[in-house]
Structure 1
Amino acid sequence: MLSFGLVGLVCLAIAEKFVPIFPSYVLLMFVGMTAKSSLNLAAIVAATAFGSTLGSLLWYGFGWTLGSHRVEDLVTRYGRFILLPPSLYQRLVGSYRRNQFWTTLVGHTIPAVRVYLGLPAGVFKLELRGFALATLIGSLLWNTPFLCLGFLLYGSGRDPITLGLAVAVGLIAAEFAIVWILRRAKRSNARRF
């Protein structure tokens, strides 16, 4: 996809919203490493943020079209197969009931959550401009550091593939550690009450 330049980056960012094979931060880091030779960083950041926003708008359209009952039924039946368990979907729904703009903006900086935010937003028929703006800002906040990291790794003088894999493994390990700590803290709090 990178051989198609900015259009390829937009398509890659859209695809990342629907085929979460790799964690997005690993994908973004590798995009930063490999696209450095042909594109500038600002163009890469803009293209990936635009693509992420388009991907979220597609999820929004699915939620809008299918409606609450069908989406909940699909999530209950198939959500666990696409990293969207019903409990996560219900937390997203609850968050949107409290604060729509901030849920969208902050949600785009949380792995797994960022992929599916558009679905409940469409179900709730959030105001489209506000959703798109919050999605764009959140995507910029998420994409920029990982793309910059890829740019820095490429220019480090070391083998970019080996170094990139080492950093990716470190990031994934840190994510698992954070999830483990949060679950442990949640269990500890539940036992107290």
Structure 2
Amino acid sequence: MTGLSDLPAFVSDLAGWGVLGLTLCAAMEKLVPIVPSYGVLIVLGMFVVPDVAGLPWALAATTAGSTLGSLIWYAAGRWFGPQRGEALVQRAGCYLSLRVEKYRQLTGSYHRNQFWITVSSQVIPLVRVYMAFPAGVMAIPLTCFTTATFVGALAWNAPFLMLGYGLRESHIDPSTAASTAISGIVVVEVMFALAFRFIRGRA
């Protein structure tokens, strides 16, 4: 991924709409997670944020968009409810990389601290996309869910947007910088996933 042209067409088109476009890009990333969110955010920081004064606006817009996307998943969870929600995951979860066992684990986690579970879920790849659905199924209070999602999304979006902007301001070729940064993050993510599986296997 080396620029806006490497994003899905609808995302690159939305990115040209200013603050509203950034909000919609972040919302669509939650609803149609074709490209890893950190890739989208790094590219937006490099090629869309106009200057350092625009960073806070970009961060606010993408955080609002991420929260909006999660609220749509949350509303779907509330509408389906526990029984229909699990039935949906059984039928269609394979298309969303969400197994029934994982769904039950996510749902069960909400029996603990709902606020901090929601915050932490926003900084875990893939989980941050779908956690809102079981939150809706479990009927987590809307105010708690929205606030926690916003806080978590802010913590996730900020470093990647700033990294993208910082890379643009460096003396490295933007395309090379973007692809190198994203590749490095993918490697780290895979290493953490393998380490986590190894630790669980030893437990």
TM-score normalised to the size of structure 1? 0.95
Distance 2:39 2:80 in 1: 32
Distance 1:166 1:75 in 2: 35
**Cα deviation 1:120-178 (Å, max 9, x = unaligned):** 11111111111100000000000000000001000002211111001101100110111
Per-residue deviation, 1:36: 2.5
- Is 1:70–2:84 an aligned residue pair? yes
Q: Which residue of 1 aligns with 2:182?
A: 168
Alignment partner of 1:20 out of 26, 33, 39 = 33
Alignment partner of 1:11 out of 5, 20, 24 = 24
Unaligned runs of 5+ in 2: 1-13
Distance 1:104 1:24 in 2: 17
Q: Percent identity?
A: 42
Q: Which residue of 1 aligns with 2:157?
A: 143
Q: Which residue of 2 aligns with 1:30?
A: 43
Alignment root-mean-square deviation, CA: 1.1
Distance 1:143 1:83 in 2: 22
SS in 1 for 2:111: helix
Runs of 4+ residues deviating >3 angstroms: none
- Is 1:152–2:166 an aligned residue pair? yes
More displaced 10-residue stretch of structure 1: 63-72 or 33-42:
33-42
Per-residue deviation, 1:83: 1.8
Q: Which residue of 2 aligns with 1:91?
A: 105
Per-residue deviation, 1:80: 2.0
Q: Which residue of 1 aligns with 2:71?
A: 57
Per-residue deviation, 1:91: 1.4
Distance 2:41 2:112 in 1: 31
Distance 1:127 1:25 in 2: 28
Q: Which residue of 2 aligns with 1:178?
A: 192
Distance 2:130 2:170 in 1: 35
Per-residue deviation, 1:25: 0.8
Per-residue deviation, 1:98: 1.2
Q: Which residue of 2 aligns with 1:2?
A: 15
Per-residue deviation, 1:186: 1.0
Alignment partner of 1:114 out of 121, 128, 132 = 128
Distance 1:63 1:106 in 2: 19
Distance 2:28 2:181 in 1: 23
Per-residue deviation, 1:88: 1.8
TM-score normalised to the size of structure 2? 0.90
